[in-house]
Amino acid sequence: MHQGIVSASAMAILASTGTASAEDVTITARFPAPEREATLLRSLHMARFGGREGGRVGYSIERALLRPDATGSPYFDMIGPGHLAEGNVTGSASTDISRREYKEKRKQCVERDRDNKCVREEEREVACTERMISLSVDLRIARSDNGRVVYAAQKPYRENIRRCVGDSGSELSSESVISVLIDRVGEDVRSDLVSEVRSYSVRFRESRSGMSRDVSSRFRNAIRLSQSDLGAACSEWEAIEAASSDHPSVLFNLGLCAEAGGDYQRALDYYARASRLMGSGNMAEAGIARVQQLIEGRRIEEQRAAVN
C-alpha cells in the first residue's frame, strides 16, 4: 500500500536537471501544496456528501486524488467504508440555474445582391437568453484520531451562457456545464492537497560588471559551457569564487547550481550572499523564495515517509 514514501528512483526524478539553452538550467522538483497540514495525511476516506450534486462532487474529488503523481502512485491512499483512514473528507454541493431575457443589438443583412452577397447591413435588436449556472461546494477534512479540522474550503463556481436568436451552433445544455464544473472541483481540491512535481527554467546571471579581464573571460566560458556540461560550468564558478572576491553573478550561479543539484540549503546561502550585493528586487530574492518552498516540500515528504 502506498504510504507517501518517496523511493530512491522517485528522488532522482525530483532532482533531475537539464539545460534549456546556454543561459538557462531546467530543474524538476517538488513544490508543497498550499494546505500543508492536510498534505501530511497519508490516507483519506470520502464520507457521504450532502446536497443534490454531493455524490458526483465526491466522486470527482476521489478520482482526482487517485490519479498517480510523479512517483507513479496516488499521493493519498483512498480508503473505503469500514476501514480507518487518517482523515475524513465531508462536504455538500448544490446547484442553481437562473435565466434572464434581454435584447441585444446585432448587425443583420437587410439587402443582398444576385450572388447572395450582403450589400447592406443594419443594426437590429434580437431576443437573447442568459443562463446563470452556479455550483456551490463546501468541503472539510478532519483528522480521524482527534477530529481536528485540517482543511476547510468554500468553492463557488459560475458559468454564464448567453445565446441570441440567429446564433449558429448547438446550445450547451445546463447538465453539460454542471459536469464541467464538477470536474473542476476535483482538480482544484487536488491542487490544494497534492504537492506538485514540476519543471521550471531559471536563467543564469551573465553580468560581468566589476570583474577583472581574466575572471571575466573564465566566467563567460563557464556560461557557454553550461549548455553542454552543467557540472563542469558549476565547478568553474566554484574555482572563480575561491580565487577572487565575491561577485553577485558568480554567487547567484552557484546558488542555481546547488538548487539544480537538490542542495537547497547551500542554494539558499549562495542566493542570500548574492542578494546582499545586488540590491532589492533582484533575481536572487526570487531564488530564495523558490528554494524556501522546495525546502518545505522536502520536509513534508520526509515527514510523510517517516511514518510507516
Does 227 or 101 have the greater pLDDT score? 101
* DSSP single-letter state for residue 72: S
Cell of 214: 581574466
Q: What is the pLDDT of residue 166?
A: 84
74 pLDDT more than 90: yes
DSSP 3-state assignment of 255?
helix
Domain with CATH 1.25.40.10 in the chain: 206-306
User: Would you say the C-alpha torsion 251, 254, 256, 262 has a positive or negative sign?
Assistant: negative
Q: What is the pLDDT of residue 168?
A: 85
Nearest of 154, 183, 197 to residue 61 by alpha carbon? 183
pLDDT band at 169 (very low <50, low <70, confident <90, very high): confident
6 pLDDT more than 50: no
* Window from 118-127, 131-140, 142-151 with minimum mean pLDDT: 118-127
Runs of H (alpha helix) within the chain = 8-14, 36-39, 54-66, 174-193, 213-225, 230-243, 248-260, 264-278, 283-306
8 pLDDT more than 90: no
Q: Maximum CA pair distance of the chain? A: 85
Q: What is the mean pLDDT of residues 22-36?
A: 89
98 pLDDT more than 80: yes
Domain 206-306 matching CATH 3.90.25.10: the answer reads no
Q: Is 269 exposed, middle or buried (0-12, 13-18, 19+ CB in 10 A)?
A: middle
Whether this prediction's pTM lies above 0.85 is answered by no
Pairing of strands 196-203, 24-31: antiparallel
Q: What is the pLDDT of residue 184?
A: 97
**202-256 pLDDT, tens per residue?**
999 999 998 999 999 999 999 999 988 999 999 999 999 998 778 999 999 999 9
Pairing of strands 149-164, 118-143: antiparallel
- What's the chain's Rg over C-alpha atoms? 28
Q: How far apart are CA 207 and CA 158, in angstroms?
A: 48
16 pLDDT more than 80: no
18 pLDDT more than 60: no
**253-281 pLDDT, tens per residue?**
999 999 999 999 999 999 999 999 998 88
Residues in the chain: 308
Q: Is 168 exposed, middle or buried (0-12, 13-18, 19+ CB in 10 A)?
A: exposed
Q: Are the C-beta atoms of residues 286 and 301 closer than 8 Å to each other? A: no
pLDDT band at 307 (very low <50, low <70, confident <90, very high): low
Q: What is the pLDDT of residue 130?
A: 96
Nearest of 271, 292, 291 to residue 282 by alpha carbon? 271
